[in-house]
């Protein structure tokens, strides 16, 4: 009975997340009320509050769900015992770009993040949470790059902090641009070439070296 109750609670949580994803995508984050999500999910507002304190926490859960399938690759690129951290990072970045086009759920959440997430007063600390999320990403990328430097896969003089910032902006920009103009080209088909161009920059650009 307890197991069934836990399963039902998890099913309800997933229903709420799926509904929030659809409504955020249709209306934007700031114009979506928890009542809208409750109606779309077929649950009460009390059920939402059982799982999430507020709309910001619900939004964070959508981001976490988006990141989870790639977490093993991210951790591998950061691991000191990984013999090929740059290869794992390359695989991770390629999959990030491919999923935006090939995975409908990933595409919806990416569109919300890039184009339908407004930092209005009623969302409280959403902007701060997103800043923390981006800084964490930069730090994890920097760790992966330092790992690749230590393994001799990138130049010893690479400024890893600057390179991480550049890498994050490059991937983020590719996603934002494609989501606005998906008819221009296939991001999934060009993912490998686009990531390899980025890695070439890390290996060769004098502007990314320590003085």
pTM higher than 0.85 = yes
**Cα(210)–Cα(159) distance, integer angstroms:** 5
Q: For 52-125, where are the alpha helices, taking DSSP H only?
A: 55-67, 71-78, 85-102, 104-115
With H, G, I as helix, E, B as strand and everything else as coil, classify residue 209: strand
**Closest C-alpha to 111, from 176, 31, 171:** 176
> pLDDT at position 116, please?
84
**Closest C-alpha to 29, from 107, 118, 129, 131:** 118
What is the overall mean pLDDT for the chain? Answer: 91
- Residue listed under structure tokens 């939004």: 59
Count helices and strands (H / E) in the chain.
Answer: 10, 0
In words, the CATH class of domain 1-52 is mainly alpha
Name residue 158's beta-bridge partners. 209
**Cα(129)–Cα(64) distance, integer angstroms:** 12
Rg, C-alpha atoms of the chain: 19
Domain extent listing, the chain: 1-52, 55-208
Binned at pLDDT 50, 70 and 90, residue 104 comes out as: very high
Residue 150 has pLDDT above 80, yes or no: yes
- 103-114 average pLDDT score: 92
**Cα(108)–Cα(68) distance, integer angstroms:** 16
pLDDT in tens, 48-93: 999 998 888 898 899 888 888 899 999 999 999 999 999 999 999 9
In words, the CATH class of domain 55-208 is mainly alpha
């Amino acid at each position: 009975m307890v197991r069934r109750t836990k399963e039902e609670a998890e099913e309800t949580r997933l229903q709420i997340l799926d509904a929030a994803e659809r409504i955020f995508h249709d209306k934007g984050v700031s114009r979506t009320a928890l009542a809208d999500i409750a109606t779309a999910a077929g649950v009460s507002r009390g059920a939402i509050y059982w799982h999430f304190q507020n709309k910001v926490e619900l939004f964070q859960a959508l981001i976490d769900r988006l990141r989870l399938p790639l977490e093993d690759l991210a951790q591998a690129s950061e691991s000191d015992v990984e013999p090929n951290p740059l290869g794992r990072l390359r695989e991770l970045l390629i999959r990030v770009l491919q999923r935006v086009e090939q995975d409908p759920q990933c595409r919806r959440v990416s569109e919300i993040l890039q184009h339908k997430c407004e930092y209005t007063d009623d969302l409280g600390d959403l902007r701060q949470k997103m800043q923390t999320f981006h800084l964490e990403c930069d730090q994890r990328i920097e760790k992966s790059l330092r790992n690749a430097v230590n393994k001799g896969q990138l130049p010893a003089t690479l400024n890893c902090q600057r390179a991480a910032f550049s890498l994050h902006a490059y991937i983020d920009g590719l996603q934002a641009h494609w989501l606005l103009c998906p008819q221009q080209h296939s991001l999934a088909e060009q993912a490998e070439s686009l990531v390899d161009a980025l890695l070439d920059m890390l290996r060769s650009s004098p502007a990314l070296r320590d003085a």
